Structures are given as structure tokens and as C-alpha cells.
Amino acid sequence: MPALAGRLKDIAVSASVVMGSRARELAAEGKKVISLAAGEPDFATPAHAIEAAHKAALAGDTKYPPTDGTKALKQAIQKKFKRDNNLDYALDEILVANGGKQIIMDALLATCDAGDEVLIPAPYWVSYADMAKLATATPTFVNCPQNNGFKLRPEDLEAAITPKTKWLLLNFPSNPTGAACSRAEMRAIADVMLKHPDVWILTDDMYEHLVYDGGFCTIAEIEPALKDRVLTVNGASKSYAMTGWRVGFAGGPKPLIKAMANMQGQLTSGISTISQAATVAALEGPQDLLAERAAIYRARRDLVVDMLAEAPGLSCHKPEGAFYVYPNIAGCIGKTSPGGRKIETDTDFALALLEEKLVATVQGTAYGMSPYIRISYATDTESLREACTRIQEFCRALS
């Protein structure tokens, strides 16, 4: 058999995918698994977005789309950036892609050469590091400890920047921790970046409408002088519960957007016209659902944090946004589960919890910080309460 590409040797399968797959296997055996592994809203796509997609299909809007996005969607995105973020982008400064992941990959492929470094605050979304590697860059991590709320300290950022640094990736509210930056904290990051004019900044704002304590801010809004080297990334997946529609978008300087569109033209070309029509409706339709759903997520967060506080060996920081908690399991390390598994790592903990109590989470090592687990509370309240009860029982039974 011919050999596979060498670039795959350092690329891991997403841990959340692995845990989700195992959970589905157990469920197929008839076991009552509760999965808290996937970062996917349990709400429905807004009805008006679905209706817009249906009308577009019936109207024959089913041909090849422009590589960079339809004019109607780019105009809706332009209005969204102005409305929500006080950012002005021309239509040729906006790109639409197959989810936020492709936006990020387009950007890295269009800018990175071998030897370039991509700074990633840790804990981090599992794909950032592997995408940097695929773009021949080197991921470099900046530790964001729990005692600082999992946020990026300006002094740590300054110390991590080198002449090889090409990008800084920001993701607040964060996956996996839910940490969100205040305006003052984002201002401090911006002040550091003003001193480094050769570094691009990518801000992954996918969870912008899921902030519970304080308001949302993005770095190009906080410091307009940085805007000509900031890529502001967002999408429809989390805010509008449209994960399967695969719509990501970004605003950025025209030369970068042009280069990214060129890259995308060779990878996938434009995205589904039907998905784009649905996203126009989501962005331009009623926005009340955003606050309504955020309030539900906030109540779920409070429930999960309070219940995990009663689990022996766990310490759970209360996040400001997104729909994740990232409890520290250090108090469980060295113990043994009722099923006989020695808990030496957070991977051991997550696997034992899944196999013995049928609750799927994701080990913190996948996100660059241990010993933690990531729990998604993007599921119904009854399931969350039952899952947290099982976690409490699991922790109490460790010996």
C-alpha cells in the first residue's frame, strides 16, 4: 500500500470526537449514556432560517456560489459586525467559509511558512494546534492558569512573543473553559500587541452571544489601531444553533481576505447556497432568541457549577461565558474507581466515568491543561442534573 503523508504523524483525532464516538457505541448497546462531550447547542435552528433555506431551494438558488460568499450574506455580515461589534468592514473585507474552522485554516495556510510560530493561550480548543501544524507553523502555548480565571495575562503574552511569531489566536469566551475577557483585560492584551506590529491577531468570537457576567468585546473594537492586522472570526453555529449548516465568516484587511479566498478557491470553493440563505435570515431576523437562550445557558451553568462543588475531589471555576465548565480533578488523582480503574490521569478519569457511570466528558489533556475535564452544558436541564448526580456518585465511590 502506498504511504500516507508524513504531515499526519503529528495530527491527532479530536478527543471530543473520540469520546463522543465511544458514548454512541455504549448507547447503541442500550445503555443510558448522557453525553456532555460535544460543544453543540441542543436548541433548534430558528424556524425563519429554515424557511429561508426552503424558499431559496424552491427558487432555484442551487448553483455554484461565489467563493467568498453571496452578496446578500456578506451584506448581512457587514450589518452584524456594525450592530454587534461596532466594526466597519467593506464587502471585500468579508469572507464566508465552511464553518469557523475553515476560516482559521484559510488564514493560517495563506500566511504561515515553516518556522513561523502561532501563539495559542492554553487551555485551547483542540483543533488550533493541529491546524497550525498543517500550515507548517509551530504552535506555541501561553499558559492561562485557573488562578487567573483561565485568562491571558499581558506579561505572559509579552514573554511568549518572539521574532518568529506570526499569529496570536484569541478565543474569549473560551472553549474549553468558558473564560471571557472584560474590556479592561482585552485592553491590556491590545496594549501588548500594539508593540508588535508584525504579528497577526485572530479572534475567534464564536461564543460572543453567550456571556453571562459582563458584556462581550473583541480586540479590533477595543483598539481600532490594530484592525488592519486583526481577523475577526465568527459564525452561525453556536449563537443560532446552526452547527450542521456549516457557516463561518470573518472580517479582516482586504489583502488577507483576498489571500484567504484564493486559498479557499483551491480547497472547497464557496459554501452551500442554501446554508447562506438560512444565515442571512438568522442574522437579519429577530434577535430576541439570543438573550433568551443565553439566560437558559446561564441557569444551566449555575446548576452544573453548584452540583460539581459537591463532588469530592473536584474544584470547578465558575465561567463567564460559552457553555462549558472545566473542573479540576486533582483531588481524584491516585484513587481507584469502583470498577477497578486506577485514576492516574484525567484521561483515566474521563474513561472510567464514561464506562462506569455512562457520562461522557473530555479529558483536559486534549486542551493542553491537566488534570481537568471539559463538560458541555449544552443539553437539557434534566439530563444535566442526572449527569452531575452520577459524577457526584462516581467521585464519592473513589477509594
Is 189 within a domain?
Answer: yes
Q: What are the pLDDT digits (tens) for 175-198?
A: 999 999 999 999 999 999 999 999
Q: Do 296 and 277 belong to one domain? A: no
Instruction: Domain of residue 356: give its range.
Output: 6-44+289-397
Is 211 within a domain?
Answer: yes
Say how many C-beta atoms besides its own lie within 10 A of residue 389's C-beta.
15
E strands, the chain, are: 34-35, 94-97, 117-122, 138-143, 165-170, 200-204, 230-235, 248-251, 324-325, 359-360, 362-363, 373-376
Strands 230-235 and 200-204: parallel
Cα 343 to Cα 19, 78, 287, 313, 397, distances in angstroms: 17, 50, 45, 12, 12
Is 56 within a domain?
Answer: no
Q: Do 272 and 237 belong to one domain? A: yes
pTM: 0.95
Angle between helices 288-308 and 381-397 (to 10 degrees): 20
Q: Do 278 and 296 belong to one domain? A: no
The last residue of a domain, from among 284, 319, 352: 284
Is 51 within a domain?
Answer: no
Question: How does DSSP classify residue 43?
Answer: S
The last residue of a domain, from among 250, 284, 318: 284
Q: How far apart are CA 190 and CA 155, in angstroms?
A: 12
Q: Do 310 and 277 belong to one domain? A: no
Q: Do 14 and 70 belong to one domain? A: no
Decide: residue 154, CB within 10 A, 0-12 exposed, 13-18 middle, 19+ buried: middle
What string of DSSP letters covers 3-36? PPPGGGGGPPPPHHHHHHHHHHHHHHTT---EE-
Q: What are the pLDDT digits (tens) for 42-58?
A: 999 999 999 999 999 99
Gyration radius of the chain over CA positions: 21
Q: How far apart are CA 229 and CA 231, in angstroms?
A: 7
What's the sign of the alpha-carbon dihedral 274, 276, 279, 280? negative
Average pLDDT, the chain: 96
Q: Do 257 and 305 belong to one domain? A: no
- N-term to C-term CA, the chain: 49
Q: Do 40 and 71 belong to one domain? A: no
Q: Do 330 and 224 belong to one domain? A: no
Enter the C-alpha cell of residue 365: 489533556
Say how many C-beta atoms besides its own lie within 10 A of residue 383's C-beta.
15
CB 234 within 8 A of CB 315: no
Q: Do 226 and 328 belong to one domain? A: no
Assign residue 339 a region: left if phi > 0, alpha if psi is -120 to 50, beta otherwise? alpha
Structural domain tally of the chain? 2
Residue type, 233: V
Q: Do 334 and 356 belong to one domain? A: yes
Q: How far apart are CA 283 and CA 287, in angstroms?
A: 8
Is 363 within a domain?
Answer: yes
What are the residues facing 34 on neighbouring strands?
A: 359
- Three-state SS string across 58-95, please? HCCCCCCCCCCCCHHHHHHHHHHHHHHHCCCCCHHHEE
Is 1 within a domain?
Answer: no
Per-residue tens of pLDDT for the chain, all 399 residues: 898 888 888 777 777 777 777 888 888 888 999 999 988 999 999 999 999 999 999 999 999 999 999 999 999 999 999 999 999 999 999 999 999 999 999 999 999 999 999 999 999 998 999 999 999 999 999 999 999 999 999 999 999 999 999 999 999 999 999 999 999 999 999 999 999 999 999 999 999 999 998 899 999 999 999 999 999 999 999 999 999 999 999 999 999 999 999 999 999 999 999 999 999 999 999 999 999 999 999 999 999 999 999 999 999 999 999 999 999 999 999 999 999 999 999 999 999 999 999 999 999 999 999 999 999 999 999 999 999 999 999 999 999
Q: Do 82 and 15 belong to one domain? A: no
Q: Do 278 and 337 belong to one domain? A: no
